[in-house]
Structure 1
Amino acid sequence: MKKPLLILIVILLLGFPESFAQDKLQSGPMVGYSTMREVLLWVQTKETAEVYFEYYDKENTEQRFQTEKLNTVHKQGFVAKLIADKVLPGKTYSYELFVDGERVERDYPMEFQSQTLWQWRTDPPEVEFVVGSCNYVNEERFDRPGKPYGSDFEIFEAIHEKRPDFMLWLGDNTYLREPDWNSRTGFLHRYTHTRSLPEVQPLLASTHHYAIWDDHDFGPNDSDGSFWLKKTASEVFKLFWGNPNYDVINEGGITGSFQWADLHFFLLDNRYFRTSNNNDAVERQMLGKKQIDWLINAMSSSYAPFKFVCIGGQVLSTEAMHENYATFPIEQRYLLDKIREAKIEGVIFLDGDRHHTGLSRMQESRDVYPIYDLTCSSLTAGAYPNNEELNQYRLEETLFGEHNFGLLKVTGPRTDRVLKMTILDKDGSEVWSKDIRAKELRYKKRN
């Protein structure tokens, strides 16, 4: 038998070489943080394998670059995080994943972008990003009996269709179950199972992702700083997400920040330092003084027209319910007072947890600007209406109790930036929208 015919028979029987690589892929690839000079790329395999990425500027397809090669290992959940460090500002790159030397085929775009160098040159670019929280992916053998708690996973396809610059996951991004939170093995299983959802793969591959956590991706329901595996929780969270930094206060946990164009995002940890809901024998805290003081200092040094403070739980509410910040009234007051005392402008809170969406607006007097809080929940976990009857800051027309996500777009010249908040349902249809000008979030100058 001639050699070409033999090769053809082998290919027909075994499939093309790419199928071998495909079979070894567990989840991803995912695009993590972006800067002007480097971008993080993430992937998870099913077994030990050598992985690397090749990438190229879409306007110059002949010049290709390659990341380093890494071997995924069981101890690290077969996860690899690689850096594309040959990028230039303001470019869009296509990339390819190689597993054990074979290219992985995907039927959707695999792209990333580097941030634009606009300073001293032009007005800042338009920025469009998605926010959402509470993502429950069913696994019958470990779920509670009865109706599945997770549904409407097509929401991730609707998000992908919007082609945002990045997505900001606001906590409860995965739901640890009883078999999960007492072991590192359980943590790795739950994060792997959630990350492997088919509907989310195209979104992971071409949208940059940042994340914070809440109780369900930290530990048991309503878990706090006493959780015995909180260091493991922190380790696994960092393994599966691609933020540019963590624990900037050197106290453990996941506190960090990042910038996109002229916007500044502050990623807070509301679990690692948290006092138990049932403990009134000590000074109660959700964030802790050190984290709050870091935040105030960091925001004071920021010139961003909008400063987005991202926390797993609702901040601006006068309704002390479940686990929102009103259940920690002394520390809540300390944070809000410090923002006012430092005369920090442009503050907007972004949070989740509540399994409904709503916008709150706090303005204590005419002498101060309004501070907004967008609570955006739920992506796929059980959602329900809530009128927040006791929350004096609520904007009733914004309350929505079905699966949804937020699309936030910042446009306009440097001196007059405008934020457009839009809430969309699971199919990507608009529920409501609101424009907020940066000028509205400044202190009035006195004559």
Structure 2
Amino acid sequence: MNKSKLLVMLVAALALTDAVFAQQGKPKTDPKTKDNLQEKSGNVAEEDIEVLDVEAYKPKPVDTTQGLAIIGFGSCNKVNLPQLWADVNANGPNLWVWLGDIIYADTSDMKALAAHYKRLKTNPEYKKMRSKAQVIGVYDDHDYGINDGCKDYPFKKGAKKCLMDFLDVPMNSPLRKREGAYQSYTFGSGNQRIKIIVMDTRYFRDPLEPDPTKQRRYIPNMDGTMLGEAQWKWLENELRNSKANLNILCSSVQVLSDEHPHEKWGNFPNQRKRLLQLIAQTKPKNLLILSGDRHMTEVSKMELQGLSYPLYDFTSSGMTHVRSGTSEPNKFRVGDMIVKKNFGILKIYWVNDKPVVTMQARGPKNELYQEITVKY
């Protein structure tokens, strides 16, 4: 074969590869086919899925002995679009927390899901970030495998396994062995410990019914669960027994903002009420919520009865793409709602063992959009 023919074949192969990844934003599994998927597969056993080639899987436990001064977080990241990792790296995070939609796969093919993770994990700037910062996190719907997915998704065990492999979670980790991807870590020592609590709002969540009036996306589910009872008990224990002086509660969807029609804790009003009551009753020291999903960034603030400090929900979403609308009601918002590609940064220092947290929303070229400092 001459060189010219070989070159033509190579160009064609590369074009085909890009075309495949360009489809990642389009769901391959329509929600209407959910029943067919269940009949076809039931729950896919984790051991049946070979995904350990996710960029040289290297199991490594999270090192919680180090303190945290800078935490980065983000969500909603399409791997076929320009990435923000060089800008993230400019901030020097000690820890990166994924709040879902790490990739956009929307597929029941676990090998395809793993391939998307691999494309991200082989990004040079992302690799640079991973070499200096630890990475933890959870999926949302598009990396779970189906838009607005819930406990009924038949491939959820496979989706969890793909996430665990992507995060390099050791095979003997308790996180691998239990249902769901919820997790917690306490970093640092003494009176400057920081606890990160990551909830799983997909694996156990009950379904939502579309609103036939189209006035909102879903009819509120008054009786369903967001977390499932096992995760609720775990969460209560994590909050009640926390020894940290700063607690960060991570949710893939917003907790405080509840006037918009999209996915949120407010779609399960009694579950949202239960979460807020649990925070007030357990009284963890200096709790801050991080959330994603919304393709914009904002900070919400609530004066929660029974809590001695204000409760903040810092939303950062849309690392590679954003929503169309530039405004929506949120009675808890402080500062601005910013509809630009973004990631979140927490800068933490201590005054007499009390945390001072600066919340920064940043974007391309590391532009600082908004900064809010909380002194606990």
Q: What TM-score does the superposition give when structure 1 sets the normalisation length? A: 0.64
Q: 2:85 aligns with which of 131, 144, 156?
A: 156
**In 1: Cα distance, 2:116 partner to 2:58 partner:** 23
Three-state SS of the structure 1 residue aligned to 2:235 is helix
Match of 1:407 in 2: 345
The residue type paired with residue 77 of structure 1 is D
| Aligned residue among 220, 241, 252 for 2:179 | 252
Give the secondary structure class of the aligned counterpart of 1:399: strand
- Name the counterpart of 1:32: none
Q: Is the 8 A contact 2:58 2:168 kept in 1?
A: no
Q: Is the 8 A contact 1:404 1:423 kept in 2?
A: yes
Q: Matched residues in 1 for 2:352 and 2:269: separation?
A: 36
- Structure 1 gaps, min length 5: 1-72, 86-111, 117-124, 139-149, 439-447
* Cα distance, 1:227–1:359 mapped onto 2, change above 3 Å: same
Q: Which amino acid aligns with 2:186?
A: Q
Amino acid at match of 1:436: V
Matched-pair contact (CA < 8 Å) for 2:51–2:165? no
Q: Tell me the equivalent position of 2:71.
A: 129
Identity %: 27
The equivalent residue for 1:241 is 167
Match of 2:39 in 1: none
**Partners of 1:84 and 1:230 in 2: CA distance:** 23
What is the CA-CA distance between 1:290 and the residue it aligns to? 2.5
> Residue 355 of structure 2 corresponds to which residue in structure 1?
417
Question: Structure 1: how far apart are the matches of 2:241 and 2:315?
Answer: 26
TM-score (ref. length: structure 2): 0.76
In 2, Cα distance between equivalents of 1:302 and 1:404? 31
Mean CA deviation greater in 425-434 or 408-417: 408-417
Higher strand fraction (1 or 2): 1
Q: Does 1:223 align with 2:162?
A: no
Query: CA 1:84–1:320 in structure 2 vs 1: closer, same or farther (change >3 Å)?
Result: closer
- 1:375 is aligned to 315
What is aligned with 1:434? 372
Unaligned runs of 5+ in 2: 1-48, 211-218
Instruction: Say yes or no: does 1:168 pair with 2:94.
Output: no
The match for 2:123 is 197
Cα gap change, 1:329 to 1:320, in 2 (>3 Å): farther
What amino acid sits opposite 1:130 in the alignment? Answer: G
Q: Aligned Cα RMSD in Å?
A: 2.8
> Are 1:295 and 2:235 an aligned pair?
yes
State the one-letter code of the partner of 1:428.
Answer: N
The structure richer in helix per residue is 2
Residue 250 of structure 2 is matched in structure 1 by 310
- d(CA) in 2 for partners of 1:113 and 1:347? 22
Of the candidates 104, 115, 122, which is equivalent to residue 65 of structure 2? 115
Amino acid in structure 1 at the alignment position of 2:126: V
Conservation of the 8 A alpha-carbon contact between 2:222 and 2:269: no
Change (3 A) 1:227 1:393: same
Structure whose CA Rg is larger: 1
Contact 2:77/2:101 (8 A) holds in 1: yes
Contact 2:280 2:306 in 1 (8 A): no
Distance apart, 1:413 and its partner CA: 3.7
SS of the aligned residue for 1:236 comes to: helix
> What code does the residue aligned with 1:175 have?
Y
**1:188-234, Cα deviation, whole Å (9 max, x unpaired):** 22222333334423223322211111001101111111001011111
1:246–1:213: structure 2 CA closer, same or farther, 3 Å change rule?
Answer: farther
Name the count of aligned residue pairs: 314
Match of 2:20 in 1: none
- Answering whether residue 224 of structure 2 is matched by residue 284 of structure 1, we say yes
1:282-332 C-alpha deviation (Å, 9 max, x unpaired): 831221233123112211111212211111111112315211111110111
Taking a change above 3 Å as real, the CA distance of residues 434 and 327 of structure 1, as seen in their structure-2 partners, is same
Secondary structure of 2:365's match?
coil
Q: Does 1:354 align with 2:294?
A: yes
Give the aligned partner of residue 324 of structure 1.
264
Shift of 1:79: 5.0
